[in-house]
Amino acid sequence: FFYYVPAKLGFSNSQALSYVLFWFLTFSYCSFWLALKIIFGRVKPQFLVAATSLIYAVNPTTLYFFTYTWGFSHQVLLYLFIPVLSAVFVKLLEEKRTFWIFAFVFWLMVASVSFVNAAFLVALGVYLTLILILFLFLKLAIFDRRLLVVLIFTVFLSFLGLSYWLWPIYFFVSAGL
């Protein structure tokens, strides 16, 4: 999507990068905005939501992706999905509802375009595990049977949803490639 549309429209390389930057910043903003809405619900003033979303979208790390000497890479697309995945995971820990399980799996499958290799998925897993540990340590979530079932079901559905690209990797690794 990021490169296909400008190429088909006949954009120059510079125009294509501007196009990609626009959409990357827009999706970064929307992801953080949605994450804030999921975690906090209706926040007042709305200016606070807009300002913090803008800070996430236009911070030095985001801009670094486009100003570094090698140019933009598709490998940073996970950055777009981290806020919404984190927010849905937090709600999953807080409420332990089936809706949040399916919401998490849905966003994980949407985010799967950003998993260029399995290491990004592993890094995301470590990050979410750290959130889980923090929530348990701060007693924002209570480790009980229900949470365990929710987590197991979420992991199972996540692997099932991502199996279309995990299975080939498994077979390549098991074959020694």
For residue 72, pLDDT over 70 is answered with no
For residue 69, pLDDT over 70 is answered with no
70-104 burial code (b ≥16 CB/10 A, e <16): eebeeebbbbbbbbbbbbbbbbbbeebeeebbebb
Query: Two tokens at 174?
Result: 């098991």
Half-sphere exposure of 115 toward its Cβ, with a 13 Å CA cutoff?
20
What pLDDT does residue 7 have?
Answer: 82
For residue 84, pLDDT over 70 is answered with yes
> Using CA atoms, how far apart are residues 102 and 153, in angstroms rounded to an integer?
10
Query: Two tokens at 159?
Result: 């692997």
pLDDT digits (tens, 9 = 90+) for 16-45: 878 888 888 999 999 999 999 999 887 777
What pLDDT does residue 97 have?
Answer: 93
For residue 2, pLDDT over 80 is answered with no
Give 29 or 114, the one with higher predicted confidence.
29
Q: Sorting pLDDT into bands at 50, 70 and 90, what band is 1? A: low
pTM: 0.85
